[in-house]
Amino acid sequence: MAVTPTAVEVYENGKEFRTYNITEDKVDERMFDVRMVIRPADHEVYHNRHTVDIYQEDGQKFRFAVKPGAGSLSFDLEGNHGIISPTGIIGQFTNAGSYTIDENNNIATGYVHIPSAERAWHTEHQCHQIGPRMVEAFLGRPIRDYQVANLFESLFHRAPIATLIDDTEDDPK
């Protein structure tokens, strides 16, 4: 599945299966092993965001949200049941003990201690927001390690792939 500022694209075996207009289509349907609910932005709910809820058969729930006009994407994960040692920019922080927040609001990870002065409580999103100079320390690696030209490039090959075999070597017999 791919969520863009204007569409939700569903793929099967690397080929586009179905596309929905995230700004207009209201969807509530089962597909494969999930239920997908798409709600276009409504200024009364969801902070005026287009939302895509994914409910898996095992009870996991994901929510993608897109701000109209801004194109910014948010992602909510309600749990990681059945996922062993999640990785990546989101997954690494769903592992138990990946970070702690003490009674003085200091944040500690396996990499660094972030003093409370370097973070703020973001009421709208119900989360801690750390200052820009601490982001790389919190991630434990440079931000450029997470940047890609095409997020789905490794998943969806839209051109033929060929494997060449060098048969010019002498037969070892």
Residue 143 has pLDDT above 70, yes or no: yes
Long-range contacts of 138-146 (CB under 8 A, 24+ apart): 138/99, 138/107, 138/109, 138/111, 138/112, 138/114, 139/89, 139/111, 140/109, 140/110, 140/111, 140/112, 146/89
Higher pLDDT, 169 or 18: 18
Domain map (residue ranges) of the chain: 1-79, 83-157
The kind and range of the H/E element at 86 are none
Two tokens, residue 113: 């201690």
Strand partners for 75: 64
The amino acid sitting at 145 is D
| Cβ-based burial of 97 (10 A; exposed 0-12, middle 13-18, buried ≥19) | exposed
Give the helix ranges, DSSP H, for the chain: 88-91, 135-139
**Rounded-to-integer distance, Cα 29 and Cα 55, Å:** 10
Query: Would you place residue 125 in the very low, low, confident or very high pLDDT band (cuts 50, 70, 90)?
Result: low
C-alpha dihedral sign at 54, 148, 89, 125: negative
Query: Would you place residue 90 in the very low, low, confident or very high pLDDT band (cuts 50, 70, 90)?
Result: low
DSSP 85: S
Residue 160: per-residue pLDDT: 43
Query: Would you place residue 130 in the very low, low, confident or very high pLDDT band (cuts 50, 70, 90)?
Result: confident
Asked whether the beta carbons of 18 and 29 are under 8 A apart, the reply is: no
Place of tokens 């749990």: 79
Give the mean pLDDT of 30-58: 85
Q: Which of 19-28, 48-57, 87-96 has the highest mean pLDDT?
A: 19-28
3-class SS at 47?
Answer: helix
Query: Would you place residue 46 in the very low, low, confident or very high pLDDT band (cuts 50, 70, 90)?
Result: low
Query: Would you place residue 16 in the very low, low, confident or very high pLDDT band (cuts 50, 70, 90)?
Result: confident
Give the mean pLDDT of 133-157: 71
